[in-house]
């Protein structure tokens, strides 16, 4: 889904057209960088998994549900968050020792 959205966004940028597309009949307004960073910060500061409603309550500004879902889809695709039955959790780890461990580890295919 993300690659399809990315292609549409790039095409709209090249054509200098408004950046909103139809997904499943609903129009998604693209979030600003400020909104994405606000959501990331709120998720990083959460103590544990947080529900969608809890996330909305903890954000500094109101965010449309469609926009928030688009941000969460982007963050999940990027590997920064995990959306599970208990809520949304921040899982990104930028520790250099962890990254070195992942790079050195062997992949076992089943």
| pLDDT tens, position by position, 30-89 | 889 999 999 999 999 998 899 999 999 999 999 988 899 999 999 988 888 988 888 999
Angle at 21 (CA atoms; ends 20, 26), nearest 5 degrees: 110
| Average pLDDT of the segment spanning 18-24 | 46
Residue 20 pLDDT: 46
Residue 10 pLDDT: 57
Long-range own/partner contacts, residues 11-18 (CB < 8 A, 24 or more apart): none
| Average pLDDT of the segment spanning 82-100 | 83
Cβ atoms 81, 89 nearer than 8 A: yes
What are the residue boundaries of the structural domains of the chain, listed by start? Answer: 1-30, 32-110
Does domain 32-110 bear CATH number 1.20.950? no
């Amino acid at each position: 889904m993300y690659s399809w959205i990315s292609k549409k966004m790039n095409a709209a940028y090249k054509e200098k057209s408004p950046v909103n597309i139809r997904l499943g009949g609903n129009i998604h307004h693209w979030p600003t960088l400020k909104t994405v960073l606000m959501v990331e910060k709120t998720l990083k500061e959460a103590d544990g998994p947080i529900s969608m409603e809890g996330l909305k309550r903890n954000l500094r500004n109101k965010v449309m549900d469609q926009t928030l879902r688009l941000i969460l889809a982007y963050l999940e695709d990027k590997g920064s968050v995990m959306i599970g039955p208990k809520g949304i959790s921040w899982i990104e780890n930028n520790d250099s020792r962890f990254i070195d461990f992942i790079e050195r580890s062997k992949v076992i295919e089943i």
